[in-house]
Amino acid sequence: MDFQKSITEIIKSRYSCRTFDSKNIENETLNKLNDYIEKINDEAKSAKINSRFLYVSSKENSNKSGKKLGTYGVISGAESFIIGIADKENHDPLKFGYLYEKLILFATDLGLNTCWLGGTFNKNDFQQNSSLLENEFIPIVSPVGYKKDKPRIFESAMRAVVGANNRKPWNELFFDENISNPLNEKVDEYAVPLQMVRLGPSASNKQPWRIVKNKNMYHFFICRTKGYGVMSFDMQINDIGIAMCHFELSSNQLGLSGNWQKLHNINNLEEWEYIISWVS
């Protein structure tokens, strides 16, 4: 078992932290984090998704390029980051999101704070500190360290702007058989995994996941945000990977067995695109 605390507890305690303390991560904790990053890199290799993950600290790098890792003032105080690296042409944002969220949850379990960043970081600074190969780029980074007791006013204001504490109501996200019939939270055996999906982080808190239950299957769809373009990396498919991670890990914890299958007889539903199914 990779995690010490229960996965539901870890998911509930994670949030995007944007104000960090200068305190160093203890060696023992850092070793555990680096070992887990290696494990996730092995999983990425086996899945052939042309992605890898790296711990970088601008403190340790100060004698190399000496570059401070920039986040346009969105993050303060952080000097250590988990960097997500992917092949420019040939990568898999679904599996990338799934694996990167495992890293985020593992760090949370170690008592560390994090914040997914897909936009507000200086790509050049990070590229210079990460020894990229020619065909690689960095779609995601996260600061990793300890939160400052008092967040900056900027952080609270930013959370208010994206409504970071809010989640869409259950009946807009989860359905039984068809999309006019919301799933009954009180009786569904997968209520907890679905609640954990709902708590997940997503780019600009858009929560693009929609799930339709059909007997022993939970079909995952994406409801894309209009005008949210896909450039080098499909941030919203990455969000569905995060949802898969929360759903699978909390199902495992509850002893609900199943696996992921891309089914060929599931159609898109109006504006929702079918992605994958959990078959129990």
CA nearest to 11, candidates 82, 96, 104: 104
Q: What residues numbered 195-254 form the site for ligand FMN, per CB under 6 A?
A: 201-205, 235, 238-239, 242
Residue span binding ligand FMN (CB under 6 A) among the ranges 19-27, 54-62, 118-126, 260-268: 118-126
Q: Is 118 in the site for ligand FMN (CB under 6 A)?
A: yes
Q: What is the DSSP letter of 60?
A: G
Counting residues that bind ligand FMN (by CB under 6 A) gives: 20
Cross-strand pairs, 76: 19
What is the chain's length? 280
Give the DSSP per-residue string, 110-149.
Answer: TT-EE--BSSSS-HHHHHHHTT--TTEEEEEEEEEE-B-S
CA nearest to 149, candidates 28, 13, 17: 17
CB of 108 to ligand FMN, least distance (A): 11
Do strands 51-57 and 209-214 pair parallel, antiparallel, or not at all (unpaired)? unpaired
Q: What residues numbered 41-60 form the site for ligand FMN, per CB under 6 A?
A: none
The whole-angstrom separation of Cα 225 and Cα 126 is 28
Residue with smaller CB distance to ligand FMN, 237 or 266: 237
Q: Is 164 in the site for ligand FMN (CB under 6 A)?
A: yes
Residue with smaller CB distance to ligand FMN, 105 or 266: 105
Q: Is 170 in the site for ligand FMN (CB under 6 A)?
A: no
From the number of C-beta atoms within 10 Å of its C-beta (0-12, 13-18, 19+), residue 265 rates as exposed
Would you give the binding string for ligand FMN spanning residues 129-148, x where CB under 6 A is met? --------------------
Tell me the residue type at 15. Answer: Y
Contacts of 12 (CB under 8 A, 6+ apart): 199
From the number of C-beta atoms within 10 Å of its C-beta (0-12, 13-18, 19+), residue 242 rates as buried
Q: Is 116 in the site for ligand FMN (CB under 6 A)?
A: yes
CB of 74 to ligand FMN, least distance (A): 5
Q: Is 66 in the site for ligand FMN (CB under 6 A)?
A: no
Which of 7, 8, 16, 210 binds ligand FMN (CB under 6 A)? It is: 16
Residue with smaller CB distance to ligand FMN, 62 or 166: 166
Q: Is 30 in the site for ligand FMN (CB under 6 A)?
A: no
CB of 143 to ligand FMN, least distance (A): 10
Q: Is 76 in the site for ligand FMN (CB under 6 A)?
A: no
Distances (CA, A) of 189 to 139, 246, 260: 35, 15, 18
Q: Is 120 in the site for ligand FMN (CB under 6 A)?
A: yes
Which of 47, 162, 191, 279 binds ligand FMN (CB under 6 A)? It is: 162
The residues of the shown chain that bind ligand FMN, judged by CB under 6 A, are 15-16, 74, 115-120, 162, 164, 201-205, 235, 238-239, 242
